[in-house]
Structure 1
Amino acid sequence: MALWRIRATVDDRPGYLSVLTASLALRSVNILAVQVHTTEAGVVDEFLVDAPDALTEADLHGAVARGRGRDAFVARAEAEALADQPTRALALAGRLVHDLDALGEALVALLDAAEVRWRPEPLTGRPGYDESRMTLADPAGGSYEVLRSRPAFTPAEFARAQALVELSGTMLRHHQEQTTLLLPDGAELIVRPAAAEDTDAVRDLHARCSATTIASRYLGGVAPTDARMARLLQPTGGRTLVVTSGSTIVATASLLAEGDLGEIAILVEDSWQRRGIGTALLRRLMAYAERSRFAALVAHTAADNVAMLRTLKRLGAGSTDRDGSLVTVTLPVPGRDSVGDEAPANF
């Protein structure tokens, strides 16, 4: 038996697909996978089939024609084609996550393209495609031209390619937002936006922190639940940063939004404290608040958390309100008017 890839256009009418599959079955062709592409000319059905060794390309063309298929494309397939299209697409997406320069190669694999040409000039006009050519914008600059003589590109394939390009753009922006933090003692750390996949590493950070450090970050003295941690890592309308040493997350800083106010909080692993990490993180959150036009930031901390209070003072703390052992500090955002002395909501 041999693997073949078959594409054919059929009328989008009830029963026409079954006629085509029956014609293939009469030649002992076993259909392993089916994809359906809707086009203006009709429905393009794509099959991965296992056919008897004696069947030739011409035999398969004949079977497709007798099954009322037209514009047929028939080619030998490799064993790799046994992976279904969603699995292939996810594997290519995973590759892009780890290699931002692999977009061109990923497009070749996704589209079974004969060639992908990169041009330094930005794409003129909108991305698009015709039967044998697809043009896409490169998120890193320039553009891609994807070429394939047959079979003709379909709207579904263009949508998949666009999704891959958008993922590449997202990962590129994420990478560009990554910065190196050089500590006074010469240690180098990476500061970047938090991602959903950081959940396990942040949970490990909490496990390594002392009870005193956890109590300073969470006024109730209890680390967040998994659901709460997920919201902290990707807050709606806010921002969370993580600091990494190698593959280990050693600190986090969050800005949670409520209207035009933002609540800020940091957590730094005990062995990394008093080395300037907290100050650096808070400065970045303040810069984000200014770009996002927050009116002010607030921080809730224990009255005996002297290090945090000193850091907030250096950053321009405005009003300070004390309620027993709890201190609420308001920091005006540069470029915005002060929010006054009214104590912000504790959210």
Structure 2
Amino acid sequence: MALWRIRATVDDRPGYLSVLTASLALRGVNILTVQVHTTEVGAVDDFLVDAPDQLTEADLLAAIERGRGRDCWVARSEARGLADQPTRVLGLANRLVRDPDGAGEALRALLGADTVTWRPVPVGARPGIGAATMLLADPAGGSFELRRAAPSFTPAEYARAQALVELAGTAARRASEQVTLLLPDGAELLVRPATGDDLPGVVELHAACSARSRQRRYLGGAACPPAPRLRRLLEPARGVSLVATQGGSGGEAEPVVAMANLLAEGDEAEVALLVRDDWQRRGLGTALLRRLVGHAERAGYAAVVLHVHAENTPMLRTLARLGRPAPVERDGSVLTATVPLGADARSPTPNARR
């Protein structure tokens, strides 16, 4: 038996696919996988089949035509074709997360393209597919042009390829947001956007913090939050979370020494910090707060809000180092400071001046 890939267009009408598969079955062809690409000219059926060794390409083409298939394409396949399409796409996505610069190779592997060319010229209003070409917009600027002699590209393939390019762009932006932070005492830390993979490190961070530090962060208690809540903090629906890590050694995971959260609601965003006790009073909290405020300003929020215990003098000093107006309201033992952003930041209120 031999593996073949077959692609053919059939009328998108009830029973027409069964006619095609029956024609293949009469010749002992076993269909291993099938994908259906809906197009304006009919349903494009993509098969991976196991056919008897004596069948040739011409035999398979004849079987497809007898099964009412048209625009046929047949080619030998390798064993790796047995992996289903979702599995292959997820594997390529994993590669892109680790290496965003590999978008071209990922596209070639996804679509079996003959050539993949990146150009600095944006596609403008021209993205889409032709019989042998595909144009994809690169979110980072520029465009990808793919060429494949056969089979013709389909809209479903275009959608998958564009999603893969956008994933590469997101991964590249995340990589560019990583910075090496040099503290006043000469210590270096890596500050980057948090992901769900940071959950074990953040759990260890909370365990390493004193009960007083956890209480100052969460206001209501000193217990470590449950893992589901921490995961939501690491990947907020709106906003961003940052982690600061020490450089690991010997292949070990880098320990998380601080977490900073910017959680958006409406046109304001709430900010909170947790810094491991032995890293406090070294300028780390100030640096993280400045980055969060800068992110909120670029994202267009009207203000950032901080809820602080009145006795939390170190956090109040950190807020003062921003050098921005921050009106404060008191509710019992909790202070709420609001830092205006954008146009509002240029008009400090009398209370803010005091």
Q: Which residue of 1 aligns with 2:251?
A: none
- Deviation at 1:199? 2.9
Between the aligned partners of 2:328 and 2:122, the Cα distance in structure 1 is 51
- Deviation at 1:89? 0.7
Q: Which residue of 2 aligns with 1:230?
A: 231
| Residues 139, 172 of structure 1: 8 Å contact kept | no
Letter in 1 for 2:293: M
- Deviation at 1:236? 4.1
| Residues 34, 45 of structure 2: 8 Å contact kept | yes
- Deviation at 1:334? 6.1
| Residues 116, 147 of structure 2: 8 Å contact kept | yes
Letter in 2 for 1:51: A
Q: Structure 1 residues 19 and 114, CA, compared in 2 at 3 Å: closer, same or farther?
A: same
**Does 2:13 correspond to 1:6?**
no
Deviations 1:213-237 (CA, angstroms, capped at 9, x unpaired)? 2122111223323333233223344
Between the aligned partners of 1:280 and 1:166, the Cα distance in structure 2 is 30
Q: Which residue of 1 aligns with 2:107?
A: 107
Q: Which residue of 2 aligns with 1:262?
A: 269
| Residues 139, 169 of structure 2: 8 Å contact kept | yes
Q: Structure 1 residues 293 and 29, CA, compared in 2 at 3 Å: closer, same or farther?
A: closer
- Deviation at 1:252? 1.2
Between the aligned partners of 1:258 and 1:14, the Cα distance in structure 2 is 49
Q: CA RMSD of the aligned region, Å?
A: 2.3
Q: Which residue of 1 aligns with 2:85?
A: 85
Q: Which residue of 2 aligns with 1:272?
A: 279
Letter in 1 for 2:231: A
| Residues 100, 169 of structure 2: 8 Å contact kept | no
| Residues 138, 166 of structure 2: 8 Å contact kept | no
| Residues 192, 242 of structure 1: 8 Å contact kept | yes
| Residues 232, 240 of structure 1: 8 Å contact kept | yes
Q: Which residue of 2 aligns with 1:241?
A: 242
Between the aligned partners of 1:251 and 1:54, the Cα distance in structure 2 is 66
- Deviation at 1:113? 0.9
| Residues 290, 335 of structure 1: 8 Å contact kept | no
Where do residues 306-325 of structure 1 align in structure 2 (5 Å cutoff)?
306-316=313-323, 318-325=326-333
Q: Which runs of 5+ in 2 are unaligned?
A: 248-253
Q: Which runs of 5+ in 1 are unaligned?
A: 343-347
Q: Structure 1 residues 202 and 339, CA, compared in 2 at 3 Å: closer, same or farther?
A: farther
Q: The residue matched to 1:254 in structure 2 has which SS? A: strand
- Deviation at 1:145? 1.4
Between the aligned partners of 2:119 and 2:310, the Cα distance in structure 1 is 59
| Residues 295, 338 of structure 1: 8 Å contact kept | no
Q: Which residue of 1 aligns with 2:126?
A: 126
- Deviation at 1:71? 1.5
Return 34-43 or 121-130, whichever deviates more: 121-130
Q: The residue matched to 1:135 in structure 2 has which SS? A: strand
Deviations 1:253-305 (CA, angstroms, capped at 9, x unpaired)? 11233444432210112232222110001111222333344444332233333
Q: The residue matched to 1:185 in structure 2 has which SS? A: coil
Q: The residue matched to 2:308 in structure 1 has which SS? A: strand
Q: Structure 1 residues 174 and 40, CA, compared in 2 at 3 Å: closer, same or farther?
A: same
**Does 2:214 correspond to 1:214?**
yes
Where do residues 1-347 of structure 1 align in structure 2 (5 Å cutoff)?
1-220=1-220, 221-246=222-247, 247-316=254-323, 318-333=326-341, 335-336=343-344, 337-338=347-348
| Residues 101, 168 of structure 2: 8 Å contact kept | no
| Residues 5, 74 of structure 2: 8 Å contact kept | yes
Number of residues paired by the alignment? 342
Q: Structure 1 residues 49 and 236, CA, compared in 2 at 3 Å: closer, same or farther?
A: closer
Q: The residue matched to 1:213 in structure 2 has which SS? A: helix
Deviations 1:82-125 (CA, angstroms, capped at 9, x unpaired)? 00011111111110000011100001011011111222333353
Q: TM-score, normalised by structure 2?
A: 0.88
| Residues 299, 328 of structure 1: 8 Å contact kept | yes
Q: Structure 1 residues 330 and 158, CA, compared in 2 at 3 Å: closer, same or farther?
A: closer
- Deviation at 1:75? 0.6
Q: The residue matched to 2:156 in structure 1 has which SS? A: helix
Q: Structure 1 residues 9 and 174, CA, compared in 2 at 3 Å: closer, same or farther?
A: same
Letter in 1 for 2:151: P
Letter in 2 for 1:326: V
Deviations 1:169-204 (CA, angstroms, capped at 9, x unpaired)? 222222222222112233322222223343333223
Q: The residue matched to 2:219 in structure 1 has which SS? A: coil
